[in-house]
C-alpha cells in the first residue's frame, strides 16, 4: 500500500533562506511569507525616514517588487533581511530625491501607554515622541538611517555595514554621531 500523502510543512515555519529559494523559483506563497515576516520592520524604517504614509507605502511596494524580481539573482551572501533593508533604503533614497520629507504631525503619532495612565502621562509621552521625531528629522540622513536600523530595527553593525556598503567602523561612527546629535537636541527632556 502506498504511503499516504503528508501535508507539506507550513511555510511560515521555514527559515528565510529556504523561503528565498522557493520564492526565487516562483512560489508566490513563499514570497508572501517573506513580505509578512519582514514587511512591518521595513515599513517602520521607511516611515521614520519619509514621515508620510502614502510615500512609505509606495516605497515599500517598490522595494518588495524589486525583491520579487531580484530573488532569482539573490545569492544569500547576506541575510535576506539585510538584503531587503538594502532594497528599502534604495527606494527611500529615490523617494527623498523626488520630494523632501513631510513633517510629522503630532496628531499622527500613536502613543502606546498603559490604560491606567492619566492625561498628564499621555501628554508627556506624546510630547517626548514628537521631540524624538523632530530631533531625528534634524539629523543628516545617513545618521538617521543608521540610528533607526540599529536602535529601532535591531540590526547589527555588520548588517548595517553590508547594507550601506561600508565598514563596521564607519557604522559605529555614524551611530555615535547620531546618538550625540539626539542627546544634544533632547537635552531639555532629561
Task: Quick: pLDDT tens for 109-138.
Answer: 444 444 546 677 777 777 777 888 888 889
E strand or H helix that includes residue 98: helix 80-98
User: At CA 187, angle to CA 96 and CA 42, rounded to 5?
Assistant: 30
Taking the domains of the chain in order of start, what are their residue ranges? Answer: 10-103, 115-190
Instruction: Return the CATH fold of 10-103.
Output: Rna Polymerase Sigma Factor; Chain: A (1.10.1740)
- Report whether 56 contacts 46 (CB < 8 A): yes
**Ramachandran assignment for 113, one of left (phi > 0), alpha (psi -120 to 50 degrees), beta (any other):** beta
**pLDDT string in tens for the chain (190-residue length):** 455 434 345 788 899 999 999 999 999 999 999 999 999 999 999 999 998 899 999 999 999 999 999 999 998 888 999 999 999 999 999 998 886 545 545 444 444 444 546 677 777 777 777 888 888 889 998 999 999 999 989 999 999 999 888 999 999 999 999 999 989 888 877 6
- Write down the H helix ranges in 99-156: 119-138, 141-147
Separation CA 163–CA 139 (nearest Å): 19
Measured over the CA atoms of residue 87, residue 19, residue 73 and residue 68, the dihedral's sign is negative
Q: Kindly report the CATH number that applies to the domain delimited by 115-190.
A: 1.10.10.10
**DSSP state letters, 30-95:** HHHHHHHHHHHHHHHHHHHHH--HHHHHHHHHHHHHHHHHHGGG---SS-HHHHHHHHHHHHHHHH
pTM over 0.75? The answer is: no
- Identify the DSSP state of 12: G
Distances from the Cα of 125 to the Cα of 35, 109, 135, 169, 188, angstroms:
31, 10, 15, 34, 14
Task: Convert the pLDDT of each residue in 164-182 to its tens digit.
Answer: 889 999 999 999 999 999 8
Amino acid at each position: 500500500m502506498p504511503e499516504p500523502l503528508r501535508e507539506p510543512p507550513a511555510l511560515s515555519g521555514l527559515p528565510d533562506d529556504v523561503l528565498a529559494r522557493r520564492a526565487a523559483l516562483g512560489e508566490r506563497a513563499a514570497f508572501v511569507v517573506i513580505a509578512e515576516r519582514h514587511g512591518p520592520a521595513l515599513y517602520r524604517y521607511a516611515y521614520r525616514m519619509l514621515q508620510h504614509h502614502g510615500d512609505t507605502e509606495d516605497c515599500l511596494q517598490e522595494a518588495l517588487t524589486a525583491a520579487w524580481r531580484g530573488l532569482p539573482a539573490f545569492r544569500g551572501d547576506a541575510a535576506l533581511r539585510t538584503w531587503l533593508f538594502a532594497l528599502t533604503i534604495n527606494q527611500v533614497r529615490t523617494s527623498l530625491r523626488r520630494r523632501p520629507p513631510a513633517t510629522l504631525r503630532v496628531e499622527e503619532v500613536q502613543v502606546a501607554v498603559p490604560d491606567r495612565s492619566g492625561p498628564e502621562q499621555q501628554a508627556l509621552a506624546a510630547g517626548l515622541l514628537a521631540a524624538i521625531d523632530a530631533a531625528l528629522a534634524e539629523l543628516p540622513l545617513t545618521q538617521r538611517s543608521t540610528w533607526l536600523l540599529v536602535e529601532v530595527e535591531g540590526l547589527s553593525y555588520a548588517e548595517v555595514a553590508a547594507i550601506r556598503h561600508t565598514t563596521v567602523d564607519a557604522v559605529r561612527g555614524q551611530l555615535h554621531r547620531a546618538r550625540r546629535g539626539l542627546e544634544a537636541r533632547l537635552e531639555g527632556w532629561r
